[in-house]
Structures are given as structure tokens and as C-alpha cells.
Amino acid sequence: MIVFRHADPRFPFLWEAAAQPPGRWHGEGEGPAHYFAATPHGAWGEFLRHEEIKDPEDLEGIQRALWAVEVPRPPTARPRLSEDSMRGGPESYAECQAEAARLRRRNARGLRAPAAALAPGGASGWSVDGGLRPGPARDGEVYVLFGQRSDLLGWPVVLAGSPPEEVLERVRHF
């Protein structure tokens, strides 16, 4: 499976130490935890939501890398939480972190969950049929892998770019 991840272009696409700042699915000192999106729009959406970018003018000057990463065995564990918790803002992180810790105790190497950063249908792509046309609506999904993952292979799709303006209207902002 190919998934997508945004990163600061000065650094690799994966964390290698537990010193990673906490996020939705891991707490302080529980890293590394690697967050991937099923689509490029999902990866860009995660960045835009986290940085609270809402205006097209704010896209100017953004320099992020977008990586395509091969995950040989995607995680199958799914959190036992409400959609509201899995898609909520920072106030829902503690509940998500506790659920991820429960999954790790059960030897899960990762999890898959709905994309918190995208509005319903926001992961849709494009098709070509008499010209470029919007593809069917698709909900976003994220994959989180726990621990060091030297087995993953990544390709830089964009080394220093910014998200397309159209992604702004697909983001579920805080």
C-alpha cells in the first residue's frame, strides 16, 4: 500500500526517537509514531489543520515535503472510539492516546482511523473523462505505525512545495 506524509524538508520522512512531540495517537515519550494519510489531500489537510491555515494567502511561502511511502503490511487495528472523538480537536487527544496505548499493549504495531483533518468526501481525487473532472467523494483515512520503521521505503513527491489551494475547502479546521 502507498500512503502519504508531509514533513519538514530539512528532515527525514520518519521519526527515529521517542522525543517526538505528542499527537492524537501517541503521548509524551511514546514515539516514534508515524502518521500517514491514504491520499495526498489527506496529508496536506493534516498539515493545514495542525497549523490552523485557512486563507489562500497563507499558503504562500510554505515549503513542505510530501512523501509517498510504501507500507508492506498496513495496520488493521481500529480504535474503539466514537467518530466525534477520532475527529475531534486537541481536547479529544487524551482519549485517543489512551486507546492507542491500549492497542499497543495488545501488540498492535499500528492503527487505522478516519482522517480527522478532512471533511466528509474530502479525500476525493480527479478523473479524466472529456477533460479533468472531480472524482467521486471519498472519505479520508489515516494509518499510524508505532515504533522505529526502517523497513519502510519512501519517495519524495514534492521536496519543497505548498498544498493546492483547493485542499483548504476540504479541511475540518479546529
Residue with cell 516514534: 32
Which residue range forms the structural domain that includes residue 114? 2-170
Q: How many CA atoms lie within 13 A of 136 on its CB side?
A: 1
In angstroms, the CA 72 to CA 103 distance is 20
Cα–Cα distance for residue pair 118/4, rounded to 1 Å: 14
Q: Is 149 exposed, middle or buried (0-12, 13-18, 19+ CB in 10 A)?
A: middle
Q: How many domains does the chain have?
A: 1
**pLDDT tens track of the chain, all 174 residues?**
999 999 999 999 999 988 899 999 999 999 899 999 999 999 999 999 999 999 999 999 899 999 999 999 999 999 999 999 999 999 999 999 999 999 999 999 999 999 999 999 999 999 999 999 999 999 999 999 999 999 999 999 999 999 999 999 999 998
